[in-house]
Amino acid sequence: MSNFTPYLERNRAFAASGAQADVPQIPFVPFKQLYLITCIDPRVEPAAVLGARLGEAIVARNIGGRVTPAIIKDLAWIVHLHENKTPDADWFEIAVIHHTDCGTRLLADDELRAGYAARGGWDEQTSLEMAVLEPSKTVQQDIAKLRSAPELASAISNIKTGGYAYDLGTGKITTIVQPG
């Protein structure tokens, strides 16, 4: 049996429930006008941690939940769609969540970082910058990146951006950068 088999079984139950009929069609604005950027760590699953439901938010996940050039390009596409397909809709909000005990902290290890660079990953400096050692600091850096990204300049004043830190030990999320 594949590790994916139980998920296929759960999908059959989901499909039978009809829940997919309630999600909006493209182009759409998520029900809660939220674009969430968070880590791929399975301990930081938005549906569990935030109670996010299908269709409520666009969720972008990568290691560390970092604002990368790829995230900015994705956001630029969403901004472009909004401006051209749903110009009368309210603007969405961006929430960036970093968490304690993030696996990216291992990027601070010289040997692992060098090995990753040799494998074709980021260069050592970029890897070091991607490490989430102190979520309250890295989330501030990422909000600053969003607010200064030229690709988002036409719309960023309309988009609230907030930064948050999730403590795996307590399960609580703390606001680090007020949405604004």
pLDDT tens-place string over residues 103-144:
999 999 999 999 998 998 888 899 999 999 999 999 999 999
Burial of 91 (0-12, 13-18, 19+ CB in 10 A): middle
Assess contact for 125 and 58: CB atoms under 8 A.
no
CATH class of 5-100+132-177: alpha beta
The 3-state DSSP class for residue 18 equals coil
Statement: residue 167 has pLDDT above 80: yes
Compute the distance between CA of residue 11 and CA of residue 126 in angstroms, rounded to an integer.
Answer: 38
Distances from the Cα of 170 to the Cα of 41, 43, 99, angstroms? 16, 12, 11
Q: What is the pTM of this model?
A: 0.91
